[in-house]
Amino acid sequence: MRLCALTLGFMLMIGFAFGADIDGNWTGTMDIMGQQIKVSYTFKVDGDILTGTTAGQDGRELEIKNGKIEGSRISFTVDVELSGQAMTISYTGIIDGDQIKMSLDAGTGQPMEYVIKKVE
């Protein structure tokens, strides 16, 4: 029982270490109908809270909202306006070493997946 508790504690510490590692700038590309679109994020971590910004299609910075870190998983939302319509895009990611495997859901039922890497 004691070993189980120690193992769980160690795993939680590793999870928080992953979270601390994602502070900074991240970039990647997303394939949208055969076109490679550059994506970029600036993440800031405070405990299990994730904040920061991402670049919109017009280059403006968009605020990351509702950001969370749970072990090696992140999640957040971004409010955007497309063709005059306000919408919220949901993002999830799995931290895997020097990259994050991202997925975004714009409400279409078909999430888009891509990978971002930390800018050194």
**Average pLDDT value for the chain:** 84
pLDDT score at 91: 96
Reported as a single tens digit per residue, the pLDDT across 23-79 is 999 999 999 889 999 999 999 999 999 999 998 777 789 999 999 999 999 999 999
Contact 52, 45 (CB under 8 A): no
Cβ 37 vs Cβ 30: under 8 Å: yes
pLDDT computed for residue 76 by the predictor: 97
Please give the angle made by the CA atoms of 21, 8 and 14, to the nearest 5 degrees: 10
In CATH, what number is assigned to the domain containing residue 8?
A: 2.40.128.120
Q: Which two tokens stand for residue 49?
A: 């809270």
Q: Is the pLDDT higher at 19 or at 96?
A: 96
Closest CA to 107 of 120, 82, 88: 88
Q: Which domain holds residue 68?
A: 2-118
Domains: count for the chain: 1
- What is the predicted pLDDT for the residue at 84? 87
CB 75 within 8 A of CB 60: no
Token pair belonging to 96 = 């895997």
